[in-house]
Amino acid sequence: MTDNKAPKRPPLMSLDEALSLVLKEVSVLAQTEWVNTIEADGRVLSHDLVSGLQVPPQDNSSMDGYALRVEDVVHSGASLKVTQRIPAGQHGHALSPGEAARIFTGAPIPPGANAVVMQEDTQVASPDSTQAGVPEIVVNSVPGLGQWIRRSGEDVTQGAVVLPKGTRLDPAGLGLAASIGLARLEVARKPRVALFSTGDELVMPGDVSPENMRPGAIYNSNRFFLRALLVRLGCEVTDLGIVPDKFEATLSVLRDAASHHDLVLTSGGVSVGEEDHVKPAVEALGGLNLWQISMKPGKPFAFGFLKSTASDHSAFFMGLPGNPVSSFVTFQLLVRPFLLALQGVRKVQAEPLQLKANFEMPKPDKRREFLRVKRNSQGGLDLFPNQSSGVLTSVVWGDGVVDNPGSNAIQSGDLVHFYPFSEWLQ
């Protein structure tokens, strides 16, 4: 007897398995380039930054006031002669017993001084009390040893690694690099990414007015947010626009893009419909390492490689779903870590926060689900009422997602894993 039953499909790969597979394929870009520190925001260091000096370079005052010896002020009301004035950028001379130096924030501490008193804790002595025209101050509080002195090297010590290789630079990091005198930095080169969308239904804003849209047509929103996300991650983006739903057209664009890009990123055409040509085109030019993931939204995600026929070069391929929320979420969970790892970043995943759900989900999906939510004034999370993968307003309204395991019912008050968009959009 012949069994005519269709073979069972293997179970969908989990998101964790998919991300592990993607990251195992990554080799850090070998090429580096030098950029001006002031223009290096978002770039990834290819070498440790080692300080050649102390920061601050010498002990200095953290207040406007007077540098003195604590031995000379054993009680409130002590009088000291002011024998010098030290603004920032200048050096003073050694203090003798009974002397003080007028000092300003950032100025070096003169030899012999071991404390600073704020000017608010002093008063100028009467003219009758001055000697030989030398001004005096009265110190109204007893200083502690080392008071208001910033020690040499308390921020950075000479020879210390201030920023390790693989750091993705932010404004604070740029300032730190500048503080040790680095005007230029060696960073990973920018990943080269080709981006295109598929779908005969797609129309570009500006090409057709809303009132003249043909039935079934939609504006291509994915192209705009995907390109912006890639640029924020430091990529050089080649925008190839919209490719028609035809196998030969898809094959041709993929073949050309593979020759001079590190990644070819597509949106749409990776499902199982008769007009979804991306999957067979990728398989014809290279291969797929994974296709479809057990997550919602974002099931139809593909990852593989493309071989160039014009050279020995090969490019990675990532295919995102066409629905905008699915495309957005899978980009953040899979494409973003991949591109960060490609540049040498070591920590490529954000850490979730534990927050309370102020909503209920008694009938969860069987798949791992990413729910669009927004923090409320009580410190909890509100759920967007429509969790459809086509509702992009849920991403604009929300400020993050709840990572909910498959088949996990949520009751109001439960602690859930929350990923803020602010972490994803850096």
Does a structural domain hold residue 3?
no
Structural domain boundaries, residue 357: 353-424
Does a structural domain hold residue 5?
no
Does a structural domain hold residue 287?
yes
Selection from 65, 85, 79 nearest residue 125 by Cα? 79
User: Is residue 273 located within the same domain as residue 312?
Assistant: yes
Whether 270 shows a pLDDT value over 80: the answer reads no
**Taking the model in full, what pTM does it have?**
0.88
* 2-6, 85-89, 367-371: least confident range: 2-6
- Position 164 scores a pLDDT of 97
Does a structural domain hold residue 225?
yes
Give the pairing of strands 192-198 and 263-267.
parallel
- Position 313 scores a pLDDT of 76
User: Is residue 166 located within the same domain as residue 46?
Assistant: yes
Judge residue 261's burial from the number of C-beta atoms within 10 Å of its C-beta, 0-12 exposed, 13-18 middle, 19 or more buried.
buried
- Position 198 scores a pLDDT of 87
| pLDDT confidence bin for 199, thresholds 50/70/90 | confident
Q: Which residue, of 99, 130, 150, is where some domain finishes?
A: 150
Q: CATH no. for residue 183? A: 3.90.105.10
- Position 290 scores a pLDDT of 87
User: Is residue 47 located within the same domain as residue 128?
Assistant: no
Distance CA 241, CA 328 (A): 18
User: Is residue 330 located within the same domain as residue 388?
Assistant: no
User: Is residue 223 located within the same domain as residue 262?
Assistant: yes
Sign of CA dihedral 267, 268, 272, 278: negative
Q: CATH no. for residue 385? A: 2.40.340.10
User: Is residue 304 located within the same domain as residue 368?
Assistant: no
Q: Tokens in use for 122?
A: 């002093």
pLDDT greater at residue 268 or residue 334: 334
pLDDT greater at residue 132 or residue 19: 19
Distance CA 99, CA 81 (A): 5
Are 236 and 277 spatial neighbours (Cβ–Cβ below 8 Å)?
Answer: no
- Position 1 scores a pLDDT of 47
Q: CATH no. for residue 282? A: 3.40.980.10
| pLDDT confidence bin for 7, thresholds 50/70/90 | low
User: Is residue 218 located within the same domain as residue 322?
Assistant: yes
Q: What is the pLDDT of residues 39-64, one digit of tens each?
A: 999 999 999 999 999 999 999 999 99
- Position 132 scores a pLDDT of 59
Does a structural domain hold residue 143?
yes
Distance CA 386, CA 297 (A): 13
User: Is residue 264 located within the same domain as residue 294?
Assistant: yes
Q: Which residue, of 166, 188, 210, is where some domain finishes?
A: 188
Share of the chain above pLDDT 90, in %: 81
Selection from 387, 421, 424 nearest residue 401 by Cα? 421
Does a structural domain hold residue 24?
no
User: Is residue 320 located within the same domain as residue 401?
Assistant: no
Complete DSSP assignment for 207-274: TB-GGGPPTT-EE--HHHHHHHHHHHTT-EEEEEEEE-S-HHHHHHHHHHHHTS-SEEEEES--SSST
| pLDDT confidence bin for 345, thresholds 50/70/90 | very high
Q: Which residue, of 289, 320, 342, is where some domain finishes?
A: 342
Number of domains in the chain: 4
User: Is residue 200 located within the same domain as residue 146?
Assistant: no
User: Is residue 207 located within the same domain as residue 110?
Assistant: no
Share of the chain above pLDDT 70, in %: 94
Does a structural domain hold residue 9?
no
Does a structural domain hold residue 7?
no
- Position 240 scores a pLDDT of 94
User: Is residue 324 located within the same domain as residue 224?
Assistant: yes
